[in-house]
Amino acid sequence: MLYTIGDAAKELGIPASALRYYDKEGLLPHMNRSGSGIRMFTEDDFEWVRFIERLKCAGMPIKEIKRYIDLYEQGDATLGDRRALIYDRRDAVKQELERLQETLDFITYKCWYYDKALELGSEDAVKAIPLEELPPDIRAIKELCGIVRY
């Protein structure tokens, strides 16, 4: 079955302009067109666009996605290069997850801090709690994040 760009955009949950951009950038190398030049999408194209969207979500720049697609089009001789691109992206995502986890830990600490300040009636009361009397998870976050006063 073939889908128009509007139907494809609706099915994929992304703007038609994004699909046009992907096509213009060469990210959809097997794009079907009607006799009048209208882009026509298949279920296979949907899977390909979802793949592109996942790579984008992983922080891969369009230029790097294009490189991956060019390598893919060259076949098995580029398996090692494609593998390297994907491994590099995985490493970058892992680093970002670690950074986000540290940020989440800090925010978790601040949520506890303000909950406790409201419960005790002041920030000074929270600051006066000895480190060894903090809940273990909060103490660990405070130490990990290097929080001394706040």
The three-state DSSP-derived secondary structure of 34-81 is CCCCCEEECHHHHHHHHHHHHHHHCCCCHHHHHHHHHHHHHCHHHHHH
Question: Given a cut of 80, is residue 94 above it in pLDDT?
Answer: yes
Tell me how many domains the chain contains.
2
Regarding whether 55 and 10 lie in a shared domain, the answer is: yes
In a domain, 68, yes or no: no
Residue 38 near residue 53, CB atoms below 8 Å: no
For the chain, the C-alpha Rg in angstroms (whole number) is 24
Q: Domain end: 59, 86, 108, which one?
A: 59
| Gap between the Cα atoms of 98 and 103, Å rounded | 9
In a domain, 131, yes or no: yes
Average confidence score pLDDT of the chain: 94
In a domain, 135, yes or no: yes
In a domain, 123, yes or no: yes
pLDDT tens by residue, 109-145: 999 999 999 999 999 999 999 999 999 999 999 998 8
In a domain, 36, yes or no: yes
User: Does the predicted TM-score (pTM) go above 0.85?
Assistant: no
Identify the band that residue 148 occupies on the pLDDT scale cut at 50, 70 and 90: confident
Report which of residues 77 and 29 the model is more confident about.
77
Domain residues for 109?
94-150
CATH number at residue 31: 1.10.1660.10
